[in-house]
C-alpha cells in the first residue's frame, strides 16, 4: 500500500541497497542512521519490503518500519569494510547469491564482534578497535558493554 499524505518515516537508511533473498522476497540492507528497534547507527537487514519508491526515497517494510532513504548503492559498492562484513553476516544466511565475506585477518568470530564494537563505538563516541586485533576487540566490548547498555536503556552512563 502506497503512503498517504500523512506518511511519516520512523527510520532513516543511508546508504542502502535492495537485496533479493533466496525465497524471492526483497529487503533493504543499509546503514540505519535512525531506527527505534536497533538504536540506529548500525548496519541492518530489513524485513520484507511492502512498497518501495526509490525516486521518492521512501520505503515501508513488513514490520511497519517506514524508511526515508538516502544514497542507493549496490552490494558491490558498499562503502566500508564494516558494511561488507555486516552484509555478509546478515544477508548470506538468506541468499546464496550474497557477496562473500571480505578477506578478514583472524577469525570470523572476531569479525562479527568487531562490527558490534563499531556500532557501540559510534553510540559512545569512542574510536573502535582495529579489526586485526582480536584481543583489543574483545577488550573493547567487555570494557564498554555496561555503558552501552545504559545508553540504550535511556540511562545516563557515568
Q: What is the pLDDT of residues 2-22, one digit of tens each?
A: 666 778 899 999 999 999 998
The per-residue pLDDT of the chain, averaged, comes to 89
pTM for this predicted structure: 0.87
Contact assessment for residue 40 and residue 13, using Cβ atoms and an 8 Å cutoff: no
Q: What is the pLDDT of residues 88-131, one digit of tens each?
A: 889 888 887 666 666 666 678 889 999 999 999 999 999 999 99
Closest C-alpha among 140, 133, 85, 130 to residue 108: 85
Helix (H) or strand (E) holding 128: none
* DSSP string across 45-56: EPSPEEEEETTT
Amino acid at each position: 500500500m502506497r503512503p498517504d499524505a500523512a506518511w511519516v518515516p520512523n527510520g532513516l537508511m543511508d546508504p542502502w541497497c535492495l537485496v533479493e533473498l533466496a525465497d524471492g522476497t526483497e529487503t533493504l540492507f543499509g546503514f540505519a542512521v535512525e531506527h527505534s528497534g536497533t538504536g540506529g547507527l548500525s548496519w541492518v537487514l530489513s524485513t520484507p519490503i511492502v512498497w518501495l519508491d526509490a525516486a521518492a526515497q521512501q520505503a515501508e517494510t513488513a514490520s511497519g518500519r517506514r524508511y526515508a532513504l538516502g544514497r542507493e548503492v549496490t552490494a558491490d559498492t558498499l562503502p566500508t569494510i564494516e558494511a561488507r562484513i555486516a552484509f555478509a553476516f546478515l544477508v548470506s544466511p538468506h541468499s546464496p547469491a550474497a557477496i562473500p565475506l571480505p578477506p578478514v585477518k583472524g577469525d570470523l568470530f572476531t569479525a562479527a564482534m568487531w562490527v558490534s564494537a563499531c556500532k557501540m563505538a559510534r553510540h559512545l563516541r569512542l574510536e573502535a578497535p582495529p579489526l586485526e586485533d582480536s584481543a583489543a576487540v574483545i577488550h573493547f566490548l567487555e570494557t564498554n558493554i555496561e555503558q552501552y547498555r545504559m545508553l540504550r536503556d535511556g540511562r545516563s552512563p557515568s
